[in-house]
Amino acid sequence: VWKTLPFFEAAEIEPFGEGKVQDSPVLFSQFITAQKLMYQYRAHLMPASQIFDIDKLAAYFAMLDLTHARHGMVWHNQRFYYNPVLSKLEPIAFDGYTDLPATDVSISDNQANVVMNSTYLNEEEYLYFDFFRDSVFVGKYLDKLAEFSNKKSIDSILFSLSNEERHYDSLLKLEFVHYRYDTSFFRRSAEGIRNYLPELTVKLNLYLDTIQGIPEIKKQHYTDTSTFENTPEFFVNAYMESHEGDSMVIGIHNYYPQEIILVGASIKDKFIFNYFYSKPSIEAYTQGLDGVVRNLTVDSVSNFVFFTL
């Protein structure tokens, strides 16, 4: 289902604690800035070093390579903190695990190497591609790989976490008797990084100096027959564009691969307060981050838009 519908393109950029953010002018202003940075990231409008705290981003990616906890890199698992002092985003580790028991620790499994050797990437995978075309990020990422894979660094990290590791290991064994947290993997992974780091350094520096080998975005063919949870409402978004008196203009973005008919708007989601008697429509989505857009004027108290297929 994930590949048959444009989840990535339709996903909204939202804050945690949305109600608290809306009630605070300061937090709301910060969210708007953070949202713009996230959009620039998703739409490939600015280099990574102008959007993120690049030191923390490089450290995060290097740590993901060490731990192979790359599930957190999937677009819908990405979380960021907006630093209002720097006006940049910082990564928050979330949902990071590897489900491969016999993990490859060679260069072939390094994420940068995978991107550089890809002919085609999905739209969401281009997020990583942008990082490895940014010279500032690449330099700091290579430095962090060297730092985290150092034998003394590994010893220090494992020692500092040893008490906590034993505590949680004992709790897990209450339910999973044969479970054992394998710290030796980190040493194997660090050794793998030390072995391939010289080769990766050469490859990344060459990659920065050429426009050849840039992968193409895979063309997706979406279907209107797939259903999943809140389909199709997840794929129709509405935003206020302007406000004057008792009316406002809203932009309605259709990401659903089928034409939609706009029925009306309302304060609540149980009934329609303002009918669209002309039955305006929005054509089916095919591609693009902004969807197919139509602007309409509605009552200023409207919170919901109703549509049908």
Residue 2: inside a domain, yes or no?
A: no
pLDDT in tens, 70-107: 888 888 899 999 999 999 999 999 988 876 666 789 99
Using the predicted structure, report yes or no on whether residue 222 has a pLDDT greater than 80.
Answer: no
In this structure, the answer to whether residues 146 and 205 fall within a common structural domain is yes
Which of 139, 141, 80 shows the shortest CA–CA distance to 110? Answer: 141
In this structure, the answer to whether residues 89 and 201 fall within a common structural domain is yes
Looking at residue 260, what is its pLDDT? 94
Which of 136, 129, 98, 87 shows the shortest CA–CA distance to 216? Answer: 129
In this structure, the answer to whether residues 132 and 251 fall within a common structural domain is no
Residue 122, classified by CB atoms within 10 Å of its CB into exposed (0-12), middle (13-18) or buried (19+), is: middle
Rounded to an integer, what distance in angstroms lies between the CA atom of residue 38 and that of residue 113?
Answer: 25
- Cβ within 8 Å of residue 105, ≥6 positions away: 188, 189, 191, 192, 193
Q: Read off the pLDDT of each residue in 189-202 and give the average, rounded to a whole number.
A: 96
In this structure, the answer to whether residues 67 and 211 fall within a common structural domain is yes
Place of tokens 């307060």: 273
In this structure, the answer to whether residues 150 and 252 fall within a common structural domain is no
For the chain, what is the domain count?
Answer: 2
pTM over 0.75: yes
In this structure, the answer to whether residues 256 and 281 fall within a common structural domain is yes
In this structure, the answer to whether residues 123 and 79 fall within a common structural domain is yes
Rounded to an integer, what distance in angstroms lies between the CA atom of residue 207 and that of residue 215?
Answer: 12
User: Can you give the residue range of the structural domain that contains 267?
Assistant: 233-308
Using the predicted structure, report yes or no on whether residue 16 has a pLDDT greater than 90.
Answer: yes
In this structure, the answer to whether residues 117 and 253 fall within a common structural domain is no
CB 115 within 8 A of CB 129: yes
